[in-house]
Amino acid sequence: MSPVVSVFSAMLHKDLRRELRSREIFISSFLFSIILLTVIYFASTSSGVKYELMGAGALWLCITFSGTIGLNRTHQSEMVNNCYRGLILSPADGGWLYLAKVCSNWLLLSAMEVLLLPLIALFFHVDLLQSPGWLALSLLLGTGGFVAVGTLVVVITANTRMKDVLFPVVQLPLVVPALIAGVNSTEVALRGQSPWNWIQFLLALNVVFLSVGFLLYEFLLEE
């Protein structure tokens, strides 16, 4: 096994094993999403807005807020027992540690989205099977951009006194492009059309975010 693959798979394996054992991040994020969906549903009922138009927005609201909670929690678990120092002291390349961390956060958030989609269909009367391929691609790439930024920002804010407040305050403005593209792409896919323009934009965002993270993660982890 090449050194890079060894580091990447070790980190990914460790993160997923921990989450499968404790399920704390997944369960808390998912329950929060259900509460959020319920609130949005009742708010839209009383305001008379068409349910069908709310689906994509409601889904991305859940992804944004639950994802923020999840990203914060996954990094906090590295801070327990000063585990992140063990990572700093290892000869592993920080860039690959970052990609593994992004990948595990991506998988966790995507798993939550899979469970949320039927609820979105139920609450907001949307047909998920109009163009499932485009829908999946929109969610994967949008989530990728969101997670790529969040995994980096959480490291920057982790050593500040107001980290719990500062993380969403710094992260949310930075993920706005990914969120706008994600919502629009999902909305178009739910109408059964091709969101190719948005997908291209999301692809470019992912490349930029992941490259910046790959280059900066080690430096930020040490600081």
Partner 1 sequence: MTLSIQFHQLTKQFGETIALWRAEEQFHPGDRISLLGHNGAGKSTLLHILATLTKPTSGTVTWHLDGEACSDVRRVRARLSFLSHEPMLYPDLTALENLQFINRLYRRGLSDSELVGLLDQVGMAIHKDRLFRTCSRGMQQRISLARALLPEPEMLLLDEPFSGLDGEGVARMKDVFTRAHTCWLMVTHHLQHGYELANRFWIMNRGRLVHSLHKSDLSYEAYLKLCQGSKMEARNS
Burial classification of residue 106, based on how many CB atoms lie within 10 Å of its CB (0-12 exposed, 13-18 middle, 19 or more buried): middle
- Nearer to partner 1 among residue 80 and residue 162 (C-beta): 80
Q: Which is nearer to partner 1, 10 or 170 (CB)?
A: 10
Q: Which range binds partner 1 by CB under 8 A, 77-85, 106-114, 133-141, 180-188? A: 77-85
Interface residue with partner 1 among 27, 31, 49, 82 (CB under 8 A) is 82
Q: Which of 80, 129, 133, 161 binds partner 1 (CB under 8 A)?
A: 80
The token duo for 207 is 């490349």
Of the two residues 90 and 193, which places its CB atom closer to partner 1 in the complex?
90
12 scored as a contact of partner 1 (CB under 8 A): no
The answer to whether 97 and 7 have CB atoms below 8 angstroms apart is: yes
Using rule CB under 8 A, residue 7 touches partner 1: yes
Number of residues that bind partner 1 (CB under 8 A): 25
CB 178 within 8 A of CB 142: yes
Report the residue from 31, 38, 39, 86 that binds partner 1 according to the rule CB under 8 A: 86
Does 9 sit near partner 1 (CB under 8 A)?
Answer: yes
User: b/e map of 60-78 (b: 16 or more CB within 10 Å)?
Assistant: bbbbbbbbbbbbbbbbebb
Distance in angstroms (rounded) separating the CA atoms of residues 49 and 51:
6
Contact 56, 134 (CB under 8 A): no
C-alpha 148/C-alpha 208 separation (Å) is 9
Q: Which residues bind partner 1 (CB under 8 A)?
A: 3, 6-7, 9-11, 13-14, 17-18, 21-22, 77, 80-83, 85-92
